[in-house]
């Protein structure tokens, strides 16, 4: 890296430290420690060291909840999709989105990008290359010194009185952690699993198909005929990667009569919706989110062009796959447009939300309330898919299917895409982080306070730190603690009418 960029990054890190020092109020760590004979007790364990988990950890540390730990099953630097299975060239979201910074300018993605590459590079930037976004998250984690254990895989959660027993697989063997609060920031599929339709699974040999979330050796597919099922951004990303790898052809098939063109996510990006979706009654939340999810997301224009520039690329609308079977070495796919023959299938059918699919909570998935348990949509507005979404509380916590059967659920916060119907966007999209993270953090901190309020009342009742230490008048008068004020500011700066950058920006 050039010397001036190194210097700029060092200056930025110094700015971050200064900003956090200026904002360090109230500074007192306050959560009373807990102990357990079997294992260390954390106030909060966050599962997932991606953008959502890291920002949540930072939010908690700012509230002086510092007995926390983030665990991630992936190796360091490979958290999330960005450098693992994401096959887009750039992020899909506009470059100026903020989120992980939690409102601190020196922590914003832009501040880091400008320090790393220069202000001109920012002006020239279209959208973030995905690897550079991962570099920003790696810097964010380091500069904030967030405690993360990589290659720690949470495999099971067991309630134990007011605590949660966490079974973790690590390279050094199984470990147990105890936690008062658990945040599941386990990714976009973190409330269910990636979905492979049954007419493919078990019919086509596993070596001949892959979901877009899986690792795919595209070099092995050179010269092959590829069938892609689905028209979301990931389906196009994989089609583009396959075409660039030299496959013979790509046929992308979608059920809809046309490719979605309008992106509801861009509509959502305003503070009213992002900040207050969760405040709405069930019927409104259902209607908004059903419409948004029914609209689906189009592939970004540049992603579509990435495929369309290849003559051996085709997409087929109103072309659902009716059945699939192996005939000889070919994969035969029946569609209303006839039978198509492929050598390999890329399945871009996204994920399903279903608690029972998650190993972490499978043991008690049957007591977790879903929308199906709490809400009956009006005739004509039903959705079997949405009905399986968890019915969350005001801070992303699971709720009980039947009151009193599983009080421990109030200590497990689902901060994944599964939260979307209850809470709007969470951390599982950059667009929703600004509001989702602060709502989650405030809820977790509230619950820790509420759980210990008697302790704090007792603590207050025996608080006896004198501030007035003497009622004697000292022999020599004390030095004033307020320095002599400088001469008054000139009118051009101090008067109400003085034009400031903000006033000029608003004009």
Query: What's the number of CA atoms in the CB half-sphere (13 Å) around residue 448?
Result: 26
Q: Least distance (Å) from ligand FAD to the CB of residue 141?
A: 12
Contact stretch for ligand FAD (CB under 6 A) within 13-21, 77-85, 101-109, 316-324 = 77-85
Contact stretch for ligand FAD (CB under 6 A) within 66-74, 141-149, 272-280, 388-396 = 66-74
Of the pair 53, 424, the CB lying nearest ligand FAD is at: 53
Of the pair 62, 193, the CB lying nearest ligand FAD is at: 193
- Locate 22 and state its tokens: 């200026």
The reply on whether position 437 binds ligand FAD by CB under 6 A is no
The reply on whether position 93 binds ligand FAD by CB under 6 A is yes
The reply on whether position 427 binds ligand FAD by CB under 6 A is yes
How many other CB atoms sit within 10 Å of the CB of residue 454? 9
Could you give the string, one character per residue 11-50, with x where binding to ligand FAD holds by CB under 6 A and - elsewhere? ------------------------------------xxxx
The reply on whether position 74 binds ligand FAD by CB under 6 A is yes
- Locate 355 and state its tokens: 């608690």
Of the pair 92, 180, the CB lying nearest ligand FAD is at: 92
Q: Least distance (Å) from ligand FAD to the CB of residue 198?
A: 22
Q: Which of 106, 108, 186, 420 binds ligand FAD (CB under 6 A)?
A: 186
Could you give the string, one character per residue 242-271, with x where binding to ligand FAD holds by CB under 6 A and - elsewhere? ------------------------------
Residues 365 and 353 sit within 8 Å (Cβ to Cβ): no
- Locate 99 and state its tokens: 């989120």
Contact stretch for ligand FAD (CB under 6 A) within 10-18, 67-75, 327-335, 381-389 = 67-75
Q: Least distance (Å) from ligand FAD to the CB of residue 111?
A: 18
Tokens 């991630």 -> residue: 72
Tokens 């070596």 -> residue: 207
The reply on whether position 431 binds ligand FAD by CB under 6 A is yes
The reply on whether position 72 binds ligand FAD by CB under 6 A is yes
The reply on whether position 79 binds ligand FAD by CB under 6 A is yes
Tokens 């059945």 -> residue: 323
d(CA 35, CA 40) in angstroms, rounded, equals: 7
The reply on whether position 73 binds ligand FAD by CB under 6 A is yes
Contact stretch for ligand FAD (CB under 6 A) within 72-80, 158-166, 317-325, 364-372 = 72-80
The reply on whether position 178 binds ligand FAD by CB under 6 A is no
Residues binding ligand FAD: number (CB under 6 A)? 32
How many other CB atoms sit within 10 Å of the CB of residue 98? 17
Of the pair 82, 408, the CB lying nearest ligand FAD is at: 82
Q: Which of 303, 321, 429, 445 binds ligand FAD (CB under 6 A)?
A: 429
Q: Least distance (Å) from ligand FAD to the CB of residue 167?
A: 10
Of the pair 50, 230, the CB lying nearest ligand FAD is at: 50
178 contacts: CB under 8 Å, gap ≥ 6: 34, 36, 38, 39, 40, 41, 42, 160, 163, 164, 165, 166
Of the pair 81, 390, the CB lying nearest ligand FAD is at: 81
Burial 289-300, CB ≥16 within 10 A → b, else e: bbebbeebbbbb
**Residues from 354 through 383 that contact ligand FAD (CB under 6 A):** 360
Per DSSP bridges, beta strands 163-170 and 173-184 are antiparallel
The reply on whether position 188 binds ligand FAD by CB under 6 A is yes
Residues 317 and 254 sit within 8 Å (Cβ to Cβ): yes
Nearest CA to 341 among 259, 249, 258? Answer: 249
Tokens 């305003």 -> residue: 270
Could you give the string, one character per residue 124-163, with x where binding to ligand FAD holds by CB under 6 A and - elsewhere? -----------------------------xx---------
Contact stretch for ligand FAD (CB under 6 A) within 107-115, 182-190, 335-343, 369-377 = 182-190
- Locate 249 and state its tokens: 């052809």
Contact stretch for ligand FAD (CB under 6 A) within 304-312, 363-371, 391-399, 427-435 = 427-435
Q: Least distance (Å) from ligand FAD to the CB of residue 120?
A: 23
Report the DSSP beta bridge partners of residue 164.
159, 179
Could you tell me the sign of the dihedral formed by the alpha carbons of 418, 168, 363, 400, in that order? Answer: negative
Nearest CA to 39 among 135, 175, 190? Answer: 175
- Locate 348 and state its tokens: 């871009």
Of the pair 5, 95, the CB lying nearest ligand FAD is at: 95
Q: Least distance (Å) from ligand FAD to the CB of residue 42?
A: 14
d(CA 5, CA 118) in angstroms, rounded, equals: 7
Q: Is 316 helix (H, G, I), strand (E, B) or coil?
A: strand
Burial 472-500, CB ≥16 within 10 A → b, else e: eeeeeeeeeeeeeeeeeeeeeeeeeeeee
Nearest CA to 303 among 96, 130, 63, 503? Answer: 130
The reply on whether position 428 binds ligand FAD by CB under 6 A is yes
Nearest CA to 442 among 48, 56, 49, 52? Answer: 56
Q: Which residues bind ligand FAD (CB under 6 A)?
A: 47-53, 71-74, 79-81, 86, 91-93, 153-154, 185-188, 190, 234, 360, 427-431
């Amino acid at each position: 890296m050039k010397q001036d960029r190194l210097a700029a990054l060092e200056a930025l890190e110094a700015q971050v430290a200064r900003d956090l020092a200026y904002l360090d109020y109230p500074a007192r760590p306050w959560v009373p420690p807990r102990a357990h004979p079997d294992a260390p007790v954390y106030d909060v364990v966050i599962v997932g060291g991606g953008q959502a988990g890291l920002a949540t950890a930072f939010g908690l540390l700012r509230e002086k909840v510092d007995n926390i730990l983030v665990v991630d099953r992936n190796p360091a630097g490979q958290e999330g999709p960005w450098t693992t299975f994401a096959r887009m060239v750039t992020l899909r979201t506009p470059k100026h989105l903020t989120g992980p910074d939690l409102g601190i300018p020196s922590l914003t993605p832009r501040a880091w990008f400008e320090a790393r590459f220069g202000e001109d590079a920012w002006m020239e930037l279209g959208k973030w290359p995905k690897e550079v976004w991962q570099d920003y998250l790696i810097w964010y984690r380091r500069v904030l010194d967030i405690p993360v254990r990589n290659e720690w895989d949470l495999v099971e959660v067991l309630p134990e009185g007011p605590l949660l027993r966490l079974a973790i697989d690590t390279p050094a063997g199984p470990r147990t952690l105890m936690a008062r609060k658990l945040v599941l920031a386990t990714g976009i599929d973190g409330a269910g699993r990636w979905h492979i339709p049954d007419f493919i699974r078990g019919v086509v040999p596993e070596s001949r198909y892959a979901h877009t979330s899986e690792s795919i050796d595209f070099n092995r597919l050179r010269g092959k005929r590829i069938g892609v099922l689905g028209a979301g951004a990931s389906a196009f990303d994989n089609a583009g990667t396959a075409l660039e790898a030299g496959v013979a052809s790509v046929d992308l098939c979608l059920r809809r009569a046309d490719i979605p063109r309008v992106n509801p996510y861009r509509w959502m990006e305003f503070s009213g919706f992002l900040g207050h979706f969760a405040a709405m009654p069930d019927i409104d939340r259902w209607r908004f989110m059903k419409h948004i999810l029914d609209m689906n997301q189009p592939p970004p224009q540049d992603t579509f062009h990435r495929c369309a520039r290849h003559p051996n690329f085709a997409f087929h609308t109103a072309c659902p796959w009716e059945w699939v079977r192996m005939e000889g070495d070919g994969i035969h796919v029946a569609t209303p447009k006839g039978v198509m023959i492929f050598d390999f299938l890329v399945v871009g059918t996204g994920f399903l939300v279903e608690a029972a699919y998650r190993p972490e909570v499978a043991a008690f998935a049957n007591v977790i309330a879903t929308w199906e348990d709490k809400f009956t949509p009006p005739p004509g507005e039903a959705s079997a898919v949405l009905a399986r979404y968890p019915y969350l509380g005001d801070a992303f916590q699971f709720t009980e299917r039947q009151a009193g059967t599983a009080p421990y659920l109030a200590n497990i916060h689902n901060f994944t895409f599964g939260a979307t119907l209850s809470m709007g966007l969470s951390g599982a999209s950059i667009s929703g982080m600004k509001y989702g993270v602060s709502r989650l953090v405030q809820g977790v901190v509230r619950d820790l306070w509420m759980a210990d309020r008697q302790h704090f009342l007792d603590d207050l009742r025996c608080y006896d730190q004198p501030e007035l230490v003497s009622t004697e008048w000292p022999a020599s008068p004390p030095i004033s603690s307020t320095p002599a004020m400088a001469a008054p500011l000139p009118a051009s700066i101090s008067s109400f009418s003085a034009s400031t950058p903000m006033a000029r920006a608003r004009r």
